[in-house]
Structure formats: structure tokens, C-alpha cells
Amino acid sequence: MGTVKIGIVGAGGMASYHYEGFIRAGAEVLALADTDINRAKAFAGSHGIPAVYTNLTEMLAGIPSLDAVSVITPNKFHKPLVAEALQAGKHVYCEKPPALNAAEMETMLQASEKSGKRLMFDFNNRARPESRAMVRYIREGRVGRINSAQANWIRRAGIPGFGGWFTTKALSGGGPVLDLPHMLDLALYFMDYPEPDYLLAATFYDFMDNKAFKGPWGIPDAAGGVTDVESSCHAMVTFKTGQCLMIRNSWAEMNEREVVSVTFQGTKAGGTVERLFGIDGVDETSTDSCRIFTEEYGNQVDLDVAFEKDESMGRVGNASNFIYSITGTEEPLNTPRQALILMKIIDAMYESADSKKPVRIV
């Protein structure tokens, strides 16, 4: 096909990464929609986007020739906007998390299959250079079967504002479990997305009223707003394959620092992909690593894999992959069926934490 024409819904913090990725892959960004028309005009003006609208419906009517739509909104609006775009015959790229729950994701999956259009999500950590390097070791058999893994996105002080949509369950669906699913997704990706079986989880709500635990991103607090989501969650999931996975997610917890990592133990080698922050939430202070732990000739061997650091944490590369997947240049880095498995695990994390009992995932 020719040049992919795309419109973006939402002029928030992730919009610049989506835009850069789309442009880098040769697409044209023709429109931007945001309920705050002034914010839309400001972003469009600084990025040379010719048309602005207040919502997706207006954008689709104004430019029916669009091939694709990018959705960057609070979580509550992912499903309706994705469904509307797919029903209009557009490919869709959506921010994480895919939806509020697995039922919504099932609806989105069905809409994608019915439309025959591509649906991808911003699981950007799959596109990080160190993740791509690790996947090659795994897929070429250097690791063997991954028996167990640990997925961590933990923060010491990283609550994204108080009273805004992030901390309001009706808009976000939850706290760090839904805001920070990336390492859970990456671990599942390394493990070849096995079918989950049972899960046990606990959630905690400490520090959700303590401004000392706010993150550094400048998101303003909303006076009188709601803070009814968890601050942390710890879980273990087993799979029908016999594999298992430990999960840690937190915005605010008594950790040394913010840690973003997947570590695994395979039958031939173990490994870890990790980002450590010097100052919570600031990418420029981070250090990245990709390491393999194995045995050679009776010796314990650690391999440090060299790669070029990506300050965007794969956000630009993942957006580019969406365009390339439409044109047939690359295979998509993620699929709606994988997103459905992810959302089933997330649902089970909340269900188990609420019931204080193990949950079977079906």
C-alpha cells in the first residue's frame, strides 16, 4: 500500500512518541483530536499536523481517507474509541493498558477480527534494544525452556498525581497494576505467552494520601479528587505449561529505588533485562542492562550484552512497528489475543486480592 495516513486521538504526554514513531516509519499524521481544543491546536501547530478536532467522530467524518487511528486517552475511553475506529475500517494503535478489563478486551478483539484491521497496543518495552537482543537469544534456543520469571515495575515515590484520572478508579480502572503492565507483558512475551492457570495476589493502599510519594512528572493534583486505587500489588501466576511468574507492581513502596525488570530462569540459561533509575521516573538518570547467565565447559558464565540505549524505552520503535505491520514490512510486535491473556491475568490479580483467595483463570 501507499503512505499510511493516520490521525491521533489525545494530545497528552505519549502523543509525541506516537507521532515520532509514525513519521519515522514514513506515515503521514493528518489530524489530531482532543477534548481540549487549545491543547490540540498547540500540539498540532508544533508538529505540523494540518487538522484538529475535538473528538474521533469529527475526525473520521472530516478525513474519511485515514488509514489508521492512534488512541492516547484515559483508560476508560480505550474500548469505545478503538471499537469506533475499527468499525469505521481503520487500523488502530492504542496506549496501554488495552482496556479496563478482559471483557472489554474481548469486545475489542472481536471488532478487530470482524473488521480485518490491525489492532496493536503500546507495549513499548518489547521494542527496547535490550529486549530485542534478549528475544533473539530466547528464540534461537540459547535459553531453553523458561521455567520461571519475575516481572517488576516498582517505584519508591511514583504516584502520578493525586485526584486526577490516574488515581480515579472510574477513569483508570486501577493503579499501578493497570498503569505499569509492561514488565508483566514483557515476561509473558519472553515465555511465549503461555496460557495462565491459577493466580494469587495481594494489593496494598499505603501512601495514597501522602504527597511525599508523588512522582516527578509535573502532573497537577486535582483538589477534592479521588484516590481510590491501589499503591502496590504482589502476585504469582502459574501456567498450564507448568511455568510460573512472580509479579510486583507499585507506585509507592519502601524500595531502594525505581526498578523496571524481567528476570527469568531457563533450562539452558537465565537472563535479565533491567532499567534502574537514579531519580524515580526520570529516564535521563537511568542505566539499562541485558545479561545472560549460563554454564560453559564447567564454568559459570555471565554475558553482558551491549546495545544502544533508547531513551524512549521503545515507544518510538513500537509505534513505527505498527506502521510497518500495516504495510507488511514487519510482523506486529504484539497481538490482540496476547492482550486478552494479559487482561485476564490483571482481572485475576484484582479478584484474588479482593477475595484473599487463589483464582483460576479461564
Query: Quick check: is 60 in a domain?
Result: yes
What was the pLDDT predicted at 281?
63
pLDDT tens, position by position, 263-301: 999 999 999 999 988 766 666 778 899 999 999 999 999
Across the chain, mean pLDDT equals: 96
Lowest-confidence pick of 20-24, 164-168, 226-230, 280-284: 280-284
- Check pLDDT > 70 for residue 216: yes
What was the pLDDT predicted at 96?
97
What's the residue count for the chain? 362
Query: Quick check: is 322 in a domain?
Result: no
What was the pLDDT predicted at 274?
96
DSSP state of 325: H
What was the pLDDT predicted at 284?
72
What was the pLDDT predicted at 297?
96
Region 198-202: what's the mean pLDDT? 98
Q: How far is Cα 93 from Cα 315, in angstroms, rounded to an integer?
A: 12
Residue 190 and residue 277 in one domain:
yes
Q: How far is Cα 157 from Cα 213, in angstroms, rounded to an integer?
A: 4
CATH code, domain carrying 161? 3.30.360.10
Region 235-258: what's the mean pLDDT? 97
Yes or no: say if 136 and 292 are a contact pair by the CB < 8 Å rule.
no
Quote the pTM value: 0.96
Q: Which of 163-172 are b and which e, b meaning 16 or more Cβ less than 10 Å from the residue's Cβ? A: ebbbbbbebb
CATH code, domain carrying 96? 3.40.50.720
Residue 110 and residue 136 in one domain:
no
Region 156-166: what's the mean pLDDT? 96
What was the pLDDT predicted at 175?
98
**Which residues constitute the domain of residue 223?**
126-312+342-360
What was the pLDDT predicted at 2?
86
Residue 132 and residue 274 in one domain:
yes
Residue 90 and residue 164 in one domain:
no
Residue 267 and residue 179 in one domain:
yes
Yes or no: say if 13 and 308 are a contact pair by the CB < 8 Å rule.
no
- Check pLDDT > 90 for residue 180: yes
